[in-house]
Structure 1
Amino acid sequence: MKNSILRSRYLTLALSLLLAVPALWSCNTETTVQKSLREHDELMRVIDEDTIQKYLARNQITNAVRTNSGLYVVPLVEGTGPAVTAGKKVSVKYVGRLLSNGAQPGSTGYPASPGDGRFPAGSVFDNSSENRTECGCAVFTAGSGAIAGFSEGLLLMKKGDRKLLLIPSRLAYGTQGQTGSIPPDSALLFDIEVLEVF
């Protein structure tokens, strides 16, 4: 009787281990697609950081602040009004430019190609003054409805602030880009002024 109980326990334990092994393998196994995406993301982080650092050096900007996400914020004008908080409506004037033009990483290093020649770095892809509004501005709900870098930067501002946001591609439109105006893997620059917080 004792031996059959022990055998039953060993059998249950062995069966449990056999059933658990594939689950353990799948948790630790990276697919080819996952590996490719991870490597692309790691390389784009290096490329975007280099692009932003070169922009700061070229323009002799020394007061940029880097957030944990990799967004760079450059204060231009200090406002005195209420802070932008999540859920608040915010009226802003802005100009969006390509900081890079989607330079694609190569299989052997950086960069493999100069990016999309139709969209030179520095070109304007969006301007609130062209929105045909009386104020030449746009209204956003802070914390939503925009790319991650824009939303994060807006939440670091207050009424009257004017700041540059230097946004890595992963916090912008990433590998998808935006058809017709922003190539994939493009870092962006926004010059933003907060007109009103309500």
Structure 2
Amino acid sequence: MMKYIFTIGFLAAGSLSLLAQPKAKPKPATAKKPVPASASATAPLKTMADSASYAIGVNIAQSMKKDLGDLNTGILLDAMKATFDGKKPLLDEDALMNVIMAYSEKAKEAQAQATIDAGHTFLEKNKTQQGVKTTASGLQYLVLKEGTGEKPGAADTAICHYRGSLLDSTEFDNSYDRGEPLTIPVSGVIKGWTEGLQLMSKGSKYRFFIPYELGYGLRGAPPTIPGGSVLIFEVELLDVKKGS
């Protein structure tokens, strides 16, 4: 969900923790000494409630402008005023949430478009490379070493070493460096891993090229993995623990 929705939720609970923090520690304001009105304010900020209302409005607007830049602000303000006045919304609760989520996804896709395009270009070229295979889902993989042991199923647990990187070779995770393999349920990882692990036999080492749809999606995994990123993993399957 977008930042402004989180902000509204926290404020409704009485917290101002998501408001932007200034670099210098501000002097505490009191009811006896109202915060002065800024030059951009449309009316004097005479009380703490006035100042808080203004600060909250700026905070919400800044988040929405950054993430959802092409909103119709006239309709937005009309909807907010109608809601404060207790008028019935034009959309029911389910429709409201569906619209917000769909629009949020559209905004995230627009923000990640350059990364998505770079990933598509890479995968189109990569699938023609010698030894690279592509599954029906779009997962690409290269066998670096083929094992002879059993293959894990969706209900099993895999024990593996791995390293993960982005297209620009930025490494974001490495179990070898930690000195300890990962033990993880096969169905408890991103889709690209769940599918890829079941292709491997114990003792195998594969390289996975995972489209963003099978990875961390449009959201990514900030701050290390941008939304829409293709992920490259080298995975070594050390052992398989069968599920019950």
Q: Same-fold call, TM > 0.5?
A: yes
The answer for the alignment partner of 2:172 in structure 1 is 125
1:141 aligns with 2:169: no
1:125 deviates by: 0.4
1:36 deviates by: 8.4
Q: What RMSD over aligned residues (CA atoms) do the two structures have, in Å?
A: 2.7
1:68 deviates by: 1.2
AA matched with 2:194: S
The 3-state SS of whatever aligns with 2:187 is: coil
1:154 aligns with 2:197: yes
Task: State whether residues 152 and 201 of structure 2, in contact with CA within 8 Å, keep that contact through their aligned partners in structure 1.
Answer: yes
**Residues 84-130 of structure 1, C-alpha deviation per residue, up to 9 Å, x if partnerless?**
1112121111110102xxxxxxxxxxxxxxxxxxxxx1111000113
AA matched with 2:150: P
TM-score by length of structure 1 reads 0.61
The answer for the alignment partner of 2:155 in structure 1 is 87
1:1-198 matches, cutoff 5 A: 34=102, 37=105, 40=109, 47-55=118-126, 61-99=129-167, 121-133=168-180, 137-144=181-188, 146-198=189-241
* Partner Cα distance (1:196, 1:47) in 2: 35
Query: What residue ranges of structure 2 are gaps of 5+ in the alignment?
Result: 1-94
1:49 deviates by: 3.1
AA matched with 2:238: L
Cα 1:32–1:182 shift into 2, 3 Å: closer
1:53 deviates by: 3.0
Cα 1:55–1:197 shift into 2, 3 Å: same
TM-score by length of structure 2 reads 0.51
Q: Name the structure, 1 or 2, with higher relative contact order (CA <8 Å, separation 6+).
A: 1
1:172 deviates by: 0.9
Pairs aligned (count): 141
1:31 deviates by: 6.4
* Partner Cα distance (1:67, 1:74) in 2: 11
Identity among equivalent positions (%) equals 30
The answer for the alignment partner of 1:12 in structure 2 is none
1:51 deviates by: 1.5
Query: What residue ranges of structure 1 are gaps of 5+ in the alignment?
Result: 1-25, 100-120
The 3-state SS of whatever aligns with 1:149 is: helix
Task: State whether residues 143 and 155 of structure 1, in contact with CA within 8 Å, keep that contact through their aligned partners in structure 2.
Answer: no
